[in-house]
């Protein structure tokens, strides 16, 4: 309970520190090339990008205020059915930006070619200089080996420092990206291929914490800041399996464990919409409770107690979670054990089938 309260406080703190202008820019950016979207879907997308609880009232209020301000400024319209539409003037600006992107691509291509030519000339000059030095100096083989080792070490250190180096289109050097409007059939291999030539190293599918349902969005880590810039510039708005993908920079917050220590598998072959074994979060010290999800609606206390008894994990108490409005069972709950050792044993059943459903 305290952990969830702290998370809500962090989310509120993030929004409170975001200016209205920044929030407005993010709303316009998230609209993407679709230009028309339901306001609730847009709000959910924005809050996901900010890693904010979609039920947070303060967040909803701030979003509503930002949309009203944009409507007043004539940048978008909101009809009686809750559909947000970009104004014609904003569409023209997007077209101009696309033209500018094409021009920038041509300029970048020329710069790269020029840079490659200069590097080649520099390498040739360096080879000539080295040949002259070898003629003038009579160094022993041991000294030459020492120099080679130091040069290799410097090269490796330089490569590591280049990961978050500022570059064109990514001055902050971000390598973490947010992807939205993903098809539910997407998997890790399809996403890697879509992002090429940019290289993705990690992916975390965003799913409902209680049901495990895929939201159609993800956070990914790129190998370098240049790959991040390439993905945002070249792939934002492009189609994957018939859907226009939205890609934005999403720097991790202080305290976030990113990139993930281990890959999270949510289906066969890393498929986002599948149902499989999900990597468990790190266990807090002295923890005696487990969250259990993806439960059958036919579950009862006796069944869950017998299930954990299979690994000698004696259950102390069970608390099922229900919807506040309807009182319907959510398909999840909390199981408390008598000691932390029993809790560890219970955790080994993650992904095992209980009443025809893989428990998590």
- Looking at residue 33, its pLDDT comes to 56
Q: Is the pLDDT of residue 49 over 50?
A: yes
SS3 label, residue 343? helix
Band (339; pLDDT cuts 50, 70, 90) = very high
Per-residue pLDDT averaged across 339-357, rounded?
A: 86
Distance (Å, whole) CA 76 – CA 56: 24
User: In 306-331, which positions are buried (b, 16+ CB within 10 angstroms) versus exposed (e)?
Assistant: ebbeeeebebeebebeeeeeeeebeb
Q: Is the pLDDT of residue 283 over 60?
A: yes
Distance (Å, whole) CA 232 – CA 10: 27
Question: Tens digit of pLDDT for each residue in 239-252?
Answer: 998 999 999 999 88
Q: Is the pLDDT of residue 89 over 90?
A: no
Q: Is the pLDDT of residue 6 over 60?
A: no
> Beta strands 357-358 and 83-86: pairing type?
unpaired
Our measurement of the distance from residue 274's CA atom to the centroid of its chain's CA atoms, rounded to an integer in Å, reads: 18
Per-residue pLDDT averaged across 167-193, rounded?
A: 90
Q: Tell me what percent of the residues of the chain surpass a pLDDT of 70.
A: 69
SS3 label, residue 245? coil
| Greatest extent of the chain over all pairs of C-alpha atoms, in Å | 88
Band (85; pLDDT cuts 50, 70, 90) = confident
Band (142; pLDDT cuts 50, 70, 90) = very low
Any idea what DSSP says for residue 337? E
Name the residue among 217, 227, 218 with its Cα closest to residue 174.
227
Per-residue pLDDT averaged across 164-182, rounded?
A: 90
Q: Is the pLDDT of residue 12 over 90?
A: no
Q: Is the pTM of this model over 0.75?
A: no
- Looking at residue 176, its pLDDT comes to 92
Distance (Å, whole) CA 226 – CA 174: 9
Band (150; pLDDT cuts 50, 70, 90) = very low
- Looking at residue 34, its pLDDT comes to 59
H or E element: which one contains 201? Answer: strand 200-207
Q: Hey, what are 252's tokens?
A: 């991790």
Worst-scoring range by mean pLDDT, 138-142, 171-175, 285-289? 138-142
Worst-scoring range by mean pLDDT, 92-101, 209-218, 227-236, 253-262? 92-101
Q: Is the pLDDT of residue 157 over 50?
A: no
Tell me the average pLDDT of the chain.
77
Q: Are 293 and 301 in contact (CB under 8 A)?
A: no
Our measurement of the distance from residue 312's CA atom to the centroid of its chain's CA atoms, rounded to an integer in Å, reads: 38
- Looking at residue 235, its pLDDT comes to 94
* DSSP of 280-335: PPPPPTT--EEEE-S--TT--HHHHHHHHHTTT--EEEEEEEE-TTT--EEEEEEE
Q: Is residue 259 reached through a cis peptide bond, with omega within 30 degrees of 0 on the bond before it?
A: yes
Give the helix ranges, DSSP H, for the chain: 2-16, 20-31, 39-49, 57-72, 88-136, 141-161, 188-195, 225-235, 301-309, 340-347
- Looking at residue 154, its pLDDT comes to 46
> Beta strands 176-180 and 83-86: pairing type?
unpaired
- Looking at residue 269, its pLDDT comes to 43
Q: Hey, what are 133's tokens?
A: 């030095």
Q: Are 225 and 163 in contact (CB under 8 A)?
A: yes
Distance (Å, whole) CA 229 – CA 210: 34
- Looking at residue 83, its pLDDT comes to 86
Our measurement of the distance from residue 278's CA atom to the centroid of its chain's CA atoms, rounded to an integer in Å, reads: 16
């Amino acid at each position: 309970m305290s952990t969830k309260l702290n998370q809500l406080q962090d989310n509120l703190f993030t929004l409170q520190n975001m200016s209205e202008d920044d929030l407005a820019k993010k709303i316009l950016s998230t609209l993407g090339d679709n230009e028309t979207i339901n306001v609730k879907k847009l709000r959910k997308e924005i809050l996901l990008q900010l890693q904010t609880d979609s039920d947070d009232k303060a967040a909803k209020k701030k979003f509503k205020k930002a949309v009203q301000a944009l409507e007043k400024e004539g940048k978008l319209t909101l009809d009686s059915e809750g559909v947000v539409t970009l104004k014609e003037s904003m569409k023209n600006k997007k077209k101009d930006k696309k033209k500018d992107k094409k021009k920038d691509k041509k300029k970048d291509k020329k710069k790269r070619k020029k840079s490659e030519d200069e590097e080649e000339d520099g390498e040739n000059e360096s080879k000539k200089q080295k040949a002259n030095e070898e003629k003038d100096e009579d160094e022993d083989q041991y000294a030459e080996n020492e120099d080679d080792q130091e040069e290799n070490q410097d090269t490796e250190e330089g490569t590591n420092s280049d990961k978050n180096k500022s570059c064109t289109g990514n001055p902050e050097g971000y390598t973490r990206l947010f992807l939205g409007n993903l098809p539910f059939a997407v998997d890790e291999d399809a996403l890697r291929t879509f992002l090429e030539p940019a290289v993705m190293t990690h992916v975390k599918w965003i799913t409902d914490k209680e049901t495990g349902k895929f939201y159609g969005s993800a956070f990914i880590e790129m190998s370098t800041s240049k790959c991040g810039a390439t993905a945002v510039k070249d792939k934002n708005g492009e189609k994957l399996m018939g859907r226009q993908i939205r890609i934005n920079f999403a720097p991790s917050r202080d305290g976030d464990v990113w990139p993930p220590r281990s890959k999270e598998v949510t289906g066969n072959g890393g498929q986002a919409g599948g149902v499989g074994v999900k990597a468990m979060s790190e266990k807090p010290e002295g923890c005696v409770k487990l969250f259990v999800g993806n439960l059958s609606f036919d579950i009862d206390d006796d069944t869950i107690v017998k299930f954990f008894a299979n690994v000698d994990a004696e259950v102390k108490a069970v608390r099922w979670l229900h919807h506040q409005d309807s009182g319907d069972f959510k398909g999840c709950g909390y199981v408390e054990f008598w000691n932390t050792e029993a809790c560890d044993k219970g955790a080994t059943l993650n992904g095992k089938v209980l009443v025809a459903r893989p428990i998590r």
